[in-house]
Amino acid sequence: MATPSSLKKWTTPEIQDRNERILKRPKALNIQGLDKSFYHKGRAVKVLEDIDFTAYKREFVCVVGPSGCGKSTLARLIAGLETIDGGAILMDGAETKGPGPDRGMVFQSYSLFPWMTVKKNVMFGLVEGGMSKNQAEIEALQWIDLVGLDKFAESYPHQLSGGMKQRVAIIRALANQPKVLLMDEPFAALDPKNRLKMQQYLLEIWQNIDITIFFITHDLEEAIYLSDRILVLEANPGRVKEVVSVPLPRPRADDTLLSEPFLATKAYLESLVHPVEEKQIDMEDKLSMVRMVPVDSEVPDIF
Amino acid sequence: MAQGMLQRWTTPRVALDKTSVRLLTFASFALPILVWCLVSYVPHIWHPKVEITDPGGVSYFREGTLVDRAVFEIELEKKLKADPDAPAETLPQGVPANPVYLPAPHEVVTAFYTAFTTPPKRSNEPWLHESLWHSIQIIAWGFFWAMFFGIPLGVMAGTYAAASQLIEPFTEFFRYLPAPAFGALAVAILGIYDAPKIAIIFIGTFFQMVLIVAATTRKLNIALVEASLTLGCKGARMIRRVILPGILPDLYRDMRILLGWAWTYLIVAELIGTSSGITWFITQQARYKNFDNVFAAILIIGLIGLITDMILARLGKRLFPWHTGK
């Protein structure tokens, strides 16, 4: 897990020190030699192969990789929504068996219960955990207040915007006080402005509570902006390519998205996720398509 | 305006404006009624019979009877041949008429009222409203038992693959067995009164219900089930707190559709054992050639079905405010 040379010069002693301290924290989530195959028409297709990774307490980890690298499957395996073929997933040193409230999950599709009001949605996990209705209601309202949705406590999900729905989904998972929060491309359906706002929200919440976040995304900027470390997977089969420590100070500066270390990290990740050869093949496909399309002679040249 | 409306009518899957909805709903009923009126009131569109107004010496003609138009013309010709100068008053006379089994709209409308006020032929026979009430009870019980067993089995089959594999193959086979075929068996086992009729309604709806409910349950967004799993909910609690409320609006719609099926089995069911209910009324009236009453009774069944469905649809919108689809 050495810092790659192109990022070394941005890793100041303070950042280096913080990264090292993270690795000395107790382990929150420990993935050991994880294998997973899916069966398609009788043939096994290997999705994940020999994944080893450890997330430490209160760490923010993002997972990136080309499409088909099994990053969503990884989150679903940790959540217990898929069965493990080989290897193990340990939470606080104990092997996980099936889904449980210690691993909360936020989905891209929000998956709020449409027949429940916002308040009832947030109360759901609390009541399932054995809390009394009254106590659950008090806690739920506090969470709703925290994300500024107090006016919508009695609204149904279909009356909320995408960003608001995702905030409810996040606090519904957090109210349950999981040790790890799994997020499977939670902001992919939001417009860029809302997405940035939600990212800031999430960092704010994460800083203030005892939670480890395991965040799946295909947006490299999002991964750099949010995480302490980035787990880069490669596809076919999904394997760990590299784990990158983000050379940016916390809390993130307002102009961090345009700072040099940010852009350097992005370029580096880009080279890991989309190797150069792949791009050329893409371009050739497109060029041959262009030749098939007649050009409107009224506008002979767009340049 | 009119053109815009027409464009909207011919564009696939575009919602209609309010005027169009009203207009088309009205036309949907008005057009068949218009056809019926034309056939009934405009002579020579159909009118294959002649209603005799004056027998004119033909031995088997009676005033008020219906004869085929061809027969009437043959007799008329015979008379004219025998005495070409016979005065018009002495010849057989009649007006074009439709067969007795197609009463005109106004006759059926009157029958809507008179069918209820006509006392039964014998004192131990039921009035129309009693027959109707009896039919409704048969449907209600048959459908109740079908729901009582069908919904739990369907939900189980839709939730657990194992339950599906255990329940559905046999159900799939059984639903092809025509319910009326069990009539004789039902009578042998359950007697001749209401029980076999309820059984036929049950057989006709139960097996379909299991399969439809299972399909509806499977259509529930899997993400909701998964979300509840990660929130620590499982087993029977999940069925009660997530699956049932999640499918409830669709389940309600399924029941509305299946209730319509139950009505179609009613007529067969009521012929089993001792004929009863609305079917008894219809067969009885057909025997007396009171076809206006027959039509009235059939239309009453349709109206009861339509009105119940409309009430249930309204109620559904109230009950499931979060449900955006139909």
- Residue ranges and CATH numbers for the domains of chain A are 5-101+180-292 (3.40.50.300), 103-177 (no CATH)
Q: Which of A76, A115, A126, A165 to mutate to test the interface with B (most CBs of B within 10 A)?
A: A115
User: In chain A, which residues have their Cβ closer than 8 Å to the Cβ of B234?
Assistant: 99
Q: For residue range A1-48, what is the model confidence (pLDDT) as tens digits? A: 456 777 887 888 888 888 888 888 999 999 999 999 998 888 888 899
Using CB atoms, pick whichever of B228, B230, B246 lies closest to residue A103. B230
Cα A261 from Cα B318, distance rounded (Å): 57
User: In chain A, which residues have their Cβ closer than 8 Å to the Cβ of B233?
Assistant: 124-125, 128
- How far is residue A49 from each of residues A88, A241, B9, B199, measured CA to CA in Å? 12, 11, 56, 57
Asked if B227 contacts A105 with a C-beta cutoff of 8 angstroms, the reply is yes
User: Which parts of chain B sit beneath pLDDT 50?
Assistant: 325-326
Residues contacting B28, CB < 8 A, separation 6+ = none
Cα A106 from Cα A79, distance rounded (Å): 10
Using CB atoms, pick whichever of A98, A107, A176 lies closest to residue B223. A107
User: How confident is the model at residue B5, as a pLDDT?
Assistant: 81
User: How confident is the model at residue B326, as a pLDDT?
Assistant: 39
H/E segment holding residue A215: strand A212-216
User: How confident is the model at residue B65, as a pLDDT?
Assistant: 87
User: In chain A, which residues have their Cβ closer than 8 Å to the Cβ of B228?
Assistant: 113, 124, 128
User: How confident is the model at residue A114, as a pLDDT?
Assistant: 94
Question: What is the CATH class of B116-319?
Answer: mainly alpha
Cα B100 from Cα B87, distance rounded (Å): 31
Q: Within an 8 Å CB–CB cutoff, is residue A124 touching chain B?
A: yes
ipTM: 0.85
User: How confident is the model at residue A281, as a pLDDT?
Assistant: 60
Q: Within an 8 Å CB–CB cutoff, is residue A172 touching chain B?
A: yes
Cα B138 from Cα B266, distance rounded (Å): 8
User: How confident is the model at residue A286, as a pLDDT?
Assistant: 67
pLDDT tens digit at each of 303 positions of chain A = 456 777 887 888 888 888 888 888 999 999 999 999 998 888 888 899 999 999 999 999 999 998 888 899 999 999 999 999 988 999 988 888 889 889 999 998 888 999 999 999 999 999 999 999 999 999 999 999 988 899 999 999 999 998 899 999 999 999 999 999 999 999 988 899 989 999 998 999 999 999 999 999 999 999 999 999 999 999 888 889 989 999 888 888 888 888 888 998 999 998 888 876 555 566 666 666 666 666 667 776 777
Q: For residue range B186-224, what is the model confidence (pLDDT) as tens digits? A: 999 998 889 999 999 999 999 999 999 999 999 999 999
Sheet holding A94-95, edge to edge: A43-56, A27-40, A86-91, A94-95
Residues of chain B with CATH 1.10.3720.10: 116-319
Q: Within an 8 Å CB–CB cutoff, is residue A101 touching chain B?
A: yes
Using CB atoms, pick whichever of B221, B229, B322 lies closest to residue A156. B322
Residues contacting B194, CB < 8 A, separation 6+ = B137, B138, B141, B276
Give the chain A residue whose CA is nearest to the CA of B319.
Answer: A115
Cα A27 from Cα B281, distance rounded (Å): 80
